[in-house]
Structure 1
Amino acid sequence: MTPRELHEVKLAEKKALRQKMLAFRKGLTKEQHEAKSRAILARLYEEPRFQQARTIFAYASMPDEVQLYDLLAHALREGKRVGLPLITGKGLMEAVNLPSLAALVPGKFGILTVRKEEQSIIPADEVDFVVVPGAAFSPKGERLGLGGGYYDRYLMEKAPQAYRAALTFDGQVVASVPMEAHDAKVNLILTETRRIEPNT
């Protein structure tokens, strides 16, 4: 099989798994989302790597994702610098500083972002800890993203030093994830019932 054919096969596998996982996530009730999210965040707050991190890169979650609003508030209360994604081009993003929760406004696709006049970029080499979103993860640290490649590029090219944690629902942890050379793995997976630390 040629490299191109292999790439096409991987893309098809990724697409099928992504659709299955996103359907699972959407199938959870609002109450399940909230209860599971609370349990996952409680685990995160106990992690020494999180406690020690001075600069956290997280994201404003969509309704069907693990809910991270409390994480943003908690990190700011703890005196941490918090970054949120800012899309700067096709497949490219930076971490934009979140000065306070009051600076959040609805952005593209209704996702909360930092008000334009308050945006300032956090240098990627200063990011200690990244909360990495994804559709699926494996116990080996493999990650299936949402298809844009933003996190793969950011983590591999801009912030390779950052510790990578996935906060995800139990049902999104699968035996294996189709991976390619440019796909970034994670160092830690936390679900509502499990702590998985792959040997990455």
Structure 2
Amino acid sequence: MSPSYGFAKAKINGAPVLKSKPLGHETQYHLHVPLDVAGAAWDVAINVGTNDSDDLLQYKLVFDFHHAVIQTLAAAAAGRNQLTDQNALPALDFMRSDLLSGTGRWRLSDPMDGSMEAEPVASMNRLLRQAAQNGWDVYVFGRFYAEGDGIHDTHMNQGSTGKQFAHRKGDDRNDHNDIWQDGAVLFATSADRWAGYFAAFEHQLVPTDALGNPTADSKPIE
């Protein structure tokens, strides 16, 4: 069974909190944000970087996001929107759609040290606080928590290297590599203006095969 994937259309109802999570030889950092998802309290863990200077986060923070998918999202019901096993927008795939066309280059995150001043933590903290203050609709894409209400893996979810990340045919339990399951955070800042946050790690390679694994000729995103 594939990991449960989709997006929540929600309101932010609290301040972001930076938390760390040891993962092997590195520590990854997330901004945890409380969401009001159709009246239910959810948590979202937004990836903002790592202390591993050999596998930094790559990100795009776009304040003039334009794409036809906006119309579909704006018309979606508030709350949990399930997209597991869908192979077309509004499910997200950075490699198999034109979602990121015109969004500029990827930037490297600062090596994380647990401070709120490093990028993209500082910029995302400001944007999330603005969303809470102004009551913007926020669209968080990723994998739903297996236990409790929330979303994580808000980054590209394909192209990870290493045997432990391999998606094997007939076995969908692995939650690292898959197609049409990329994560992101989108903000409706006004009726006709949107912002977006997109992320991937340096060790994630493209292109990917039909299972989301790197191909023999895969290379870093840029």
Higher-helix-fraction structure: 1
Higher-strand-fraction structure: 2
Give the TM-score normalised by structure 1.
0.28
Asked which structure has the greater RCO (Cα within 8 Å, sep 6+), the reply is 2
Give the TM-score normalised by structure 2.
0.26
